Amino acid sequence: MSVFVFPYFCVFSILGFFSFGKSYGNLKDPRIDGWETVLQNYSIKPIQQFSYTSGKNASDIAIVIDAMDLLYTKDLNAIALVTSDSDFTPVVSRILANGLTVYGYGEVKTPNPFVNACSQFIYVEKLYDYSAEETTKGKKNKVASKTTLRKDTKLVSILRKAVEQTSDDNDWSNIAKVGLYINQTSSFSPINYGYKKLGELIRTIDLFEIDMQGDHQTIMFIKDKKATKSRRYTNFDSLS
């Protein structure tokens, strides 16, 4: 997992300002050999947790305690949890209750309860940028094709629902409002499909009409093609 530290920071820089980070674990455990150097390179504070009892993870308790401390001692907008353990689902719910955003990062094996609880969840395997070491090995992130995106019925449903709920009387939606609605109602992230921005994914999936507005054509408005077809049929029926 240490190879994904650089991609984490790439995403953090997009989401906002990174204040500080902590990593929890038994640094004396040979299974995580090499982490100390990685943490130093990225100014992440290592929190040493000895395994007092076999089969128990003391780090989990430490993370929960520190997360609760952050809620009351720091002025933060968001907290990121890098874990694939669904035991942290109640912690996410508690942080959200205080009005903070929770970004989750974990492997594809992460259980759905934790994934769905986060404001936004990103699978580490899908991060769009890998470390130089992995790049030289030929491991590159794949961008989901139009066919792949359309086959994802959950994704299609999320997008269409968001457009429907944010559209004006003419069925057009500002992409910014669509993204905000999605962030408030799901753990979706375009990064999981290989895209940095929602607009890039929208163009590829090709389910929506696109209208670029503004002085520099930088404001994207989208309309579900289904809604356009439905309106056409309705107008035809009224004429007949």
Which residue range(s) make up the domain with 22?
Answer: 2-136
Min mean pLDDT across 5-14, 128-137, 229-238 is at: 128-137
Confidence band for 153, pLDDT divided at 50, 70 and 90: very high
Give the model's pLDDT for residue 74.
86
Nearest by Cα to 11 from 158, 141, 164 = 141
The pair of three-digit structure tokens given for residue 22, joined into one six-digit string: 């902590």
Say whether pLDDT at 6 is over 60. Answer: no
High-pLDDT (> 90) share of the chain, %: 42
User: What's the one-letter identity of residue 197?
Assistant: K
3-32 exposure pattern, b = at least 16 Cβ within 10 A, e = fewer: bbbbbbeebbeeeeeeeebebbbbbeeeee
Residue 189 domain flag = yes
The pair of three-digit structure tokens given for residue 88, joined into one six-digit string: 């942290």
Domain end marker among 136, 170, 205: 136
User: What's the one-letter identity of residue 41?
Assistant: N
Give the model's pLDDT for residue 126.
76
Min mean pLDDT across 38-42, 151-155, 162-166 is at: 38-42
pLDDT 10s digits, 92-120: 999 999 999 999 988 889 999 999 999 99
Q: Which helix (H) or strand (E) holds 156?
A: helix 153-166
Domain end marker among 115, 136, 157: 136
Q: Three-state SS string across 79-123, please?
A: EEEECCCHHHHHHHHHHHHCCCEEEEEECCCCCHHHHHHCCEEEE
In the block, which residue shows the tokens 């986060």?
118
CATH code: domain of residue 160: 3.30.420.610
Do 79 and 100 contact (CB within 8 A), yes or no?
A: yes
Residue 141 domain flag = no
The CA distance from 102 to 33, in Å, is 29
Give the model's pLDDT for residue 138.
47
Provide the domain count of the chain.
2
Confidence band for 129, pLDDT divided at 50, 70 and 90: very low
Tell me the range of 47-56, 157-166, 224-233 where mean pLDDT is highest.
157-166
Do 7 and 130 contact (CB within 8 A), yes or no?
A: yes
Predicted TM-score of the model (pTM): 0.69
What mean pLDDT value characterizes the chain? 81
Q: Which helix (H) or strand (E) holds 158?
A: helix 153-166
Same domain, 122 and 30: yes
Residue 26 domain flag = yes
Dihedral through CA 175, CA 98, CA 87, CA 61, nearest 10? 140
Say whether pLDDT at 137 is over 70. Answer: no
Nearest by Cα to 147 from 222, 60, 207, 197 = 207
The pair of three-digit structure tokens given for residue 62, joined into one six-digit string: 């430490």
Say whether pLDDT at 132 is over 50. Answer: no
pLDDT 10s digits, 74-97: 888 888 898 899 999 999 999 999
**pLDDT, greater one: 129 or 114:** 114
Q: Which helix (H) or strand (E) holds 11?
A: helix 5-15
Min mean pLDDT across 10-19, 53-62, 144-153, 164-173 is at: 10-19
Nearest by Cα to 182 from 201, 166, 205, 169 = 166
Confidence band for 159, pLDDT divided at 50, 70 and 90: very high
Same domain, 69 and 159: no
Confidence band for 216, pLDDT divided at 50, 70 and 90: confident
